[in-house]
Amino acid sequence: MAEDFEIDTGDLERRMDGAMTSLKAEFASLRTGRASASMLEPVMVDAYGQKTPINQVGTVNVPEPRMVTINVWDKGLVGKVEKAIRESGLGINPQLNGTIIMLPIPELNEERRKELTKVASQYAEHARVAVRNVRRDGMDQIKKAKADGMSEDDQKFWETSVQELTDQYIKHVDEALETKQAEIMQV
């Protein structure tokens, strides 16, 4: 009597969701000419002997559309926070005012917009690779089940299911990229 083999597509879907969540966080860190506290999320400060996110060494505010301020809690870290922002590649020139660091967000020129769309494309490609790696793991599970006695019909069914799931997530990645690139190029 043949066994029924189940492939855990819920696990595969959860892992693909993780790739999408990561992509959205990376997209949020790309600035689009408008000030946003999330644009500082990837910036790490060398504080207290370890790399620390900016929001753990000070309060990040967006008082106006083209300004981000950071109120650094420890006076001794102001220079380190400023240095981390300068070296982050965000293209922002911090201005000091005591323990407050002001980040005026300049208008994006056409060249910088194109650079940002390329960065967004790289982020999307990383997400596609992550989704394909999850697909590969799913296909490996199917091969193992086939070796354990799964029927060919079941194998085809599960391979089709995993491929459809992959195609769906790749489409989501492409749509997110298209939206982000349009947002970046909008003047």
Residue range 59-113, pLDDT digits in tens: 999 888 888 999 999 898 899 999 888 887 777 889 998 889 998 887 778 887 8
**pLDDT score at 143:** 92
Is CATH 3.90.1150.10 the classification given to domain 9-27+109-185? no
Q: Over 90: is that where the pLDDT of 174 sits?
A: yes
Confidence of residue 8 (pLDDT cuts 50, 70, 90): confident
**CATH node for 34-104:** 3.30.1360.40
For CATH 1.10.132.20, list the domain ranges present in the chain: 9-27+109-185
**pLDDT score at 187:** 64
107 vs 13: which has the higher pLDDT: 13
**pLDDT score at 130:** 95
Per-residue pLDDT, averaged over 159-171, amounts to 95
Predicted structure pTM score: 0.69
**pLDDT score at 4:** 62
Per-residue pLDDT, averaged over 152-162, amounts to 92
Q: Please state the length of the chain.
A: 187
Q: What are phi and psi of 23, to 5 degrees?
A: -60, -45
18, 27, 31, 56, 164 from 127: Cα distances, Å = 9, 11, 19, 27, 17
Q: Tell me what the pLDDT averaged over the chain comes to.
A: 87
Q: Over 60: is that where the pLDDT of 14 sits?
A: yes
**pLDDT score at 179:** 92
Sign, Cα dihedral of 123, 124, 126, 131: positive
Per-residue pLDDT, averaged over 39-50, amounts to 85
For CATH 3.30.1360.40, list the domain ranges present in the chain: 34-104
Indicate the SS3 state at residue 62. strand
Per-residue pLDDT, averaged over 121-126, amounts to 92
Task: Please state, in angstroms and rounded to a whole number, the distance separating the CA atoms of residues 118 and 113.
Answer: 9
